[in-house]
Amino acid sequence: MKTPPGLSIPCTAQSGRLFDDLPASPEAGERFDTLLSRPGLRIERIVSTGQASPPGFWYEQPDAEWVVVLTGTAGLRLEDEAKARKLGPGDWLYLAPRRRHRVEWTDAEHPTVWLAVHCAA
């Protein structure tokens, strides 16, 4: 395996299936799977089955985040906006570092599969 200069992580071929092993019900809880992690970069699959952010809770992350909904629907609220944005398959959003946001709701009848890309600011 060859490692690019400056990285201590071997570059290997990795693969998977985004829609395998999805939780079947809300009781299974929301699921976060890291698909790829490198210095300054993390790609994760999030599977929501009716979950939402706790009342009064806001995400405020130090890194930028780009998120896309692959299946299902969700309501994502930005702190400075009056109402949640409804996101469905193919809808994506870029969140600058420290942009406060929360998940108002996710589809409880069908899994909402998100792909999130976190990158250093």
| 8 within a domain of the structure (yes/no) | no
Mean pLDDT to the nearest integer, 33-40: 94
**110-121: b or e for each residue (b if 16 or more CB lie within 10 Å)?**
ebbbbbbbbeee
Weakest mean pLDDT among 23-27, 65-69, 82-86: 23-27
Mean pLDDT to the nearest integer, 74-102: 97
Q: Is the pLDDT of residue 7 over 60?
A: no
Do 103 and 111 contact (CB within 8 A), yes or no?
Answer: no
Q: Is the pLDDT of residue 20 over 50?
A: yes
DSSP string covering 34-88, please? Answer: EEEEETTEEEEEEEESS--PPTT--B--SSEEEEEEEES-EEEEETTSSSPEEE-
What is the pTM assigned to this prediction? 0.84
Q: Is the pLDDT of residue 89 over 80?
A: yes
Q: How many domains does the chain have?
A: 1
**What integer pLDDT is reported at residue 10 of this predicted model?**
60
pLDDT tens column, 101-114: 999 999 999 999 99
Task: Show Cβ contacts of residue 108 under 8 Å, excluding neighbours closer than 6 positions.
Answer: 26, 49, 50
| 15 within a domain of the structure (yes/no) | no
CATH number, residue 71? 2.60.120.10
| 66 within a domain of the structure (yes/no) | yes
Mean pLDDT to the nearest integer, 84-113: 96
Write out the residue range of the structural domain in which residue 81 sits.
26-119
What is the strand order of the sheet 101-106 is part of?
85-87, 74-78, 101-106
| 10 within a domain of the structure (yes/no) | no
Mean pLDDT to the nearest integer, 5-23: 73
| 86 within a domain of the structure (yes/no) | yes
Better-predicted residue by pLDDT, 10 or 119: 119
